[in-house]
Structure 1
Amino acid sequence: MERWHWLAQGDAVTQATALLLLALSVASWVVMLYKGWLLARSRRQVPRCVAAFWQADDLATARNRVAAIDGRGLVLPLVDALQAQRMPAAAVRPLAQQGAASAQLTRGLRAALQSASGPLQWGQVLLASIGTLAPFVGLLGTVWGIHHALSLLADSQSIGIAQLAAPVGEALVMTAAGLAVAIPAVLGYNLQGRSAGRIEAELEGFAHDLQAMFGDGAPSAAMA
């Protein structure tokens, strides 16, 4: 418990800074663990959904197969956009359905890709913020801890290297704590951002294939 004696003896600013670093660390690890699980499932499900779609005999069967596999709802909105574009036109249509079939499909696929990017990019802003903010929070704790230690030592009658080394060295722990919080957050941001980008690229490729094959509005024999 002696190694934490400096924190117990610190003032409200020192303790609040330490609690803030702890909260940032917990938040970043919760985000990284959940996001890692989500991305791992998505990396398995998206290729299976795409393969199941192209192996189906008709659009209804393809949608049912994709819905059974796509637990995160990443591929199904793209299929629904294609299905909506191929439905018979109503007598009175909104502006979104009055354009060319290719434009309607493009609009639907773009909206589906945007909805899919939400879960994939979830938590990235928080990780980037923690990776940027934590070192400065640790530095603030260090500066304030040194100031607090020097203030206490100023009241003593004799000040030497031995008296300064312990409190100042303990205050520097806050800088190390800030780096310990920031480094995992930055690594998680980079690695998980790269993984999410690969999944988004695969979804974009699938959307491009749908647009290329069915964007002209002509019914396909296999999908009619």
Structure 2
Amino acid sequence: MDTSETLGLAHFFAQTDTVGKALFATLAAMSIASWYFIIVKSLQALIARRRSTRFLENFWNSASLAAVERQLGKRHPNEPFSHLAYHALLSCRHHAKHGADRLNEAGSAAEFLTRSIRRVIDEETAGLEWGLSVLASVASTAPFIGLFGTVWGVYHALINIGMSGQGTLDKIAGPVGEALIMTGAGLAVAIPSVLAYNAFARSNRLVLAKLDAFAHDVFAVLSTGAHFAGPPAGVATGPASEAFAGGA
């Protein structure tokens, strides 16, 4: 059989040592982890986008905040915008009923509402960033792991060639080419992670910008209380956007 027919990935695993196999296994694990987050976060973003669009349409078409509150009471918030609206309404009810009995509730109703909204935004920011650190780590380290595997493989290939005494080009090209598999594997793992990280980071920025704008709108509506049909929201009137920016 021709020697070139025996060269390839299987021959590389047969010839490499424990370090080379461990490096390849590490790249395989990193690839599985990165694709898991890519698929899961893509599905989550798609579902959340559809739910957010539906909620915002229902929110602004509702007759009053009381109607929104009843809607959120029937269906628990399952995306960032409904989550923020739910806790904003809940904080208004709570402060109007109990006042400032604890340090957590200190300050005016508008300040308490601002803190509640900001807490929800922080929670949503943390949720959107889930998995991004893994993608960033894979994208930055996978090429170097692959390069190290190539250097290690070339070193051992040259040692074996030197010991055999056969230093012709056809004897060197095969083992060295096999060692370059590790560099290719590192790039194959890193490139999807880089692209996915950039895509998710941009998507998160857009979602948070829209969420921040919605938070200002909710604060304005709750501050005036003009559309709150039912018990008073208990939030002092005033320039809504200015108060929220000051709390931020």
Considering the TM-score relative to the shorter chain, is it more than 0.5?
A: yes
Which of these residues, 27, 32, 57, is aligned with residue 26 of structure 1? 32
* 1:162 equivalent in alignment to 2:170: yes
Q: CA deviation at 1:54?
A: 2.1
The CA deviation string for residues 161-204 of structure 1, in whole angstroms up to 9 with x for no partner, is 11111101110111111011000000000112212221222111
* 1:139 equivalent in alignment to 2:147: yes
Which of these residues, 159, 171, 182, is aligned with residue 151 of structure 1? 159
* 1:62 equivalent in alignment to 2:72: no
Instruction: Give the length in aligned residue pairs.
Output: 222
- Distance change in 2, residues 1:191/1:133 (3 Å): same
Q: Which residue of 1 aligns with 2:245?
A: none
Q: CA deviation at 1:21?
A: 0.6
Which of these residues, 121, 124, 130, is aligned with residue 122 of structure 1? 130
Q: Which residue of 1 aligns with 2:196?
A: 188
Q: CA deviation at 1:68?
A: 6.3
Q: CA deviation at 1:84?
A: 2.8
* 1:3 equivalent in alignment to 2:8: yes
User: Residue 63 of structure 2 aligns to which amino acid in structure 1?
Assistant: D
User: Residue 50 of structure 1 aligns to which amino acid in structure 2?
Assistant: L
Which of these residues, 202, 211, 222, is aligned with residue 214 of structure 1? 222
* 1:106 equivalent in alignment to 2:114: yes
Which of these residues, 161, 171, 187, is aligned with residue 179 of structure 1? 187
Tell me the distance in 1 between the aligned counterparts of 2:107 and 2:227.
Answer: 24
Which of these residues, 56, 71, 74, is aligned with residue 80 of structure 2? 74
- 3-state SS in 2 of match to 1:89: helix
- CA RMSD, 1 decimal: 2.1
- 3-state SS in 1 of match to 2:97: coil
Tell me the distance in 1 between the aligned counterparts of 2:43 and 2:219.
Answer: 31
Tell me the distance in 1 between the aligned counterparts of 2:228 and 2:221.
Answer: 11
Q: CA deviation at 1:91?
A: 6.3
- Distance change in 2, residues 1:91/1:36 (3 Å): closer
- Structure 1: runs of 5 or more not aligned: none
- Structure 2: runs of 5 or more not aligned: 1-5, 231-248
8 Å CA contact 1:135, 1:178 repeated in 2: yes
TM-score by length of 2: 0.82
- 3-state SS in 2 of match to 1:155: helix
Q: Which residue of 1 aligns with 2:235?
A: none
Tell me the distance in 2 between the aligned counterparts of 1:81 and 1:42.
Answer: 18
User: Residue 3 of structure 1 aligns to which amino acid in structure 2?
Assistant: G
- Distance change in 2, residues 1:20/1:152 (3 Å): same
- 3-state SS in 1 of match to 2:126: helix
TM-score by length of 1: 0.90
